[in-house]
């Protein structure tokens, strides 16, 4: 589903954000990406959604080689992925409902489909009572879930979440990841960027560690309890 071949990214400022990264993420996987601040995690995600283009190397998403993808075709690529941004990117002057509906409208969904789908998604993330509130009236965690709802609403093949637990207490973090895990079980590929190692340990899943733009570890995390039995 996602393949990186010797991908490097150097920003115009001269920062080497990624260095010769090669990896494959299969359809249906549940993957954590961890690393310290500035390691290049967000850059990795931006390359997948083609918000940035690699300086060298090749990226393949859904059998499409991104460097050959015409600008005109980028929207189709993005419709296959739901993105939760590190900074949420909610629209302040729209209610929670409108924020989520907006993502459906932007891809030309019919009003009737929007009316049916948005309440369902809001219920899924536990925000059915906040539908008419504005983002400024929500807690960080609630805003986070709005962003998640917006990423989910178009029913994408994969979810890419940049620090979805950034502003949330540990319990809520766990719930958000648990929700993404549920979504993953229904066949959606999920990529989660986080620097909360504790969280990663609670799920038995693949974890890619990036440090200074290099993949330093790529392994299945074993739950501590199971680890003890080995």
Ligand X SMILES: Nc1ncnc2c1ncn2[C@@H]1O[C@H](COP(=O)(O)OP(=O)(O)OP(=O)(O)O)[C@@H](O)[C@H]1O
Q: What, of ligand X, Mg ion, other proteins, none, does residue 221 touch, CB below 5 to 8 Å by kind?
A: none
193's tokens = 């960027």
Q: What is the edge-to-edge ordering of all strands in the sheet holding 189-193?
A: 81-84, 158-162, 189-193, 30-34, 206-211, 214-220
Q: Are 107 and 79 in contact (CB under 8 A)?
A: yes
What gap in Å lies between CA 83 and CA 162, rounded to an integer? 8
Minimum separation from the CB atom of position 193 to ligand X (A): 7
Span 63-102, contacts to ligand X by CB under 6 A? 86
Which x/- pattern, by CB under 8 A, does the window 35-64 give for other proteins?
-----------x--xxxx------------
Minimum separation from the CB atom of position 95 to ligand X (A): 28
What gap in Å lies between CA 40 and CA 185, rounded to an integer? 28
What gap in Å lies between CA 155 and CA 100, rounded to an integer? 12
Residue holding tokens 């807690």? 139
- 77 counts as binding other proteins under rule CB under 8 A: yes
Span 84-113, contacts to other proteins by CB under 8 A? 85, 89, 91, 102-103, 105-111
Task: Select from 21, 31, 35, 183 the one that contacts ligand X (CB under 6 A).
Answer: 35
- 42 counts as binding Mg ion under rule CB under 5 A: yes
Sign of CA dihedral 116, 164, 77, 25: negative
Question: Is 22 or 36 the residue whose CB approaches ligand X more closely?
Answer: 36
Which of 63, 61, 93 has its CA nearest to residue 78? 61
Minimum separation from the CB atom of position 54 to ligand X (A): 13
Cβ-Cβ contacts under 8 Å for 227 (sequence gap 6 or more) = none
Task: Select from 15, 22, 65, 155 the one that contacts ligand X (CB under 6 A).
Answer: 15
Which of 173, 170, 117, 120 has its CA nearest to residue 145? 173
Q: What, of other proteins, ligand X, Mg ion, none, does residue 185 touch, CB below 5 to 8 Å by kind?
A: none
Which x/- pattern, by CB under 5 A, does the window 1-40 give for Mg ion?
----------------------------------------
Question: Is 111 or 140 the residue whose CB approaches ligand X more closely?
Answer: 140
Residues that bind ligand X (CB under 6 A): 11, 13, 15, 17, 35, 37-43, 86
């Amino acid at each position: 589903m996602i393949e990186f071949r010797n991908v490097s990214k150097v920003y115009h400022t001269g920062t080497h954000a990624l260095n010769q990264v090669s990896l494959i993420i299969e359809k249906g996987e549940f993957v954590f990406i961890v690393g310290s601040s500035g390691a290049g995690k967000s850059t990795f995600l931006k390359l997948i959604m083609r918000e940035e283009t690699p300086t060298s190397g090749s990226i393949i998403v859904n059998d499409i080689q991104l460097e050959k993808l015409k600008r005109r075709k980028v929207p189709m690529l993005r419709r296959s992925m739901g993105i939760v941004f590190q900074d949420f990117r909610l629209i302040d002057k729209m209610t929670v409902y409108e924020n989520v509906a907006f993502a459906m409208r932007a891809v030309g969904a019919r009003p009737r489909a929007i009316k049916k789908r948005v309440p369902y998604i809001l219920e899924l993330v536990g925000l059915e009572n906040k539908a008419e509130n504005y983002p400024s009236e929500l807690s960080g965690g609630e805003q986070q879930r709005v962003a998640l709802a917006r990423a989910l609403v178009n029913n994408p093949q994969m979810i890419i979440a940049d620090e979805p637990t950034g502003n949330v207490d540990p319990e809520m973090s766990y719930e958000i990841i648990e929700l993404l895990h549920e979504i993953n079980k229904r066949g959606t590929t999920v990529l989660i960027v986080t620097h909360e190692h504790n969280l990663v340990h609670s799920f038995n899943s693949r974890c890619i560690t990036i440090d200074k733009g290099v993949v330093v570890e790529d392994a299945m995390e074993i739950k501590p309890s199971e680890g003890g039995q080995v």
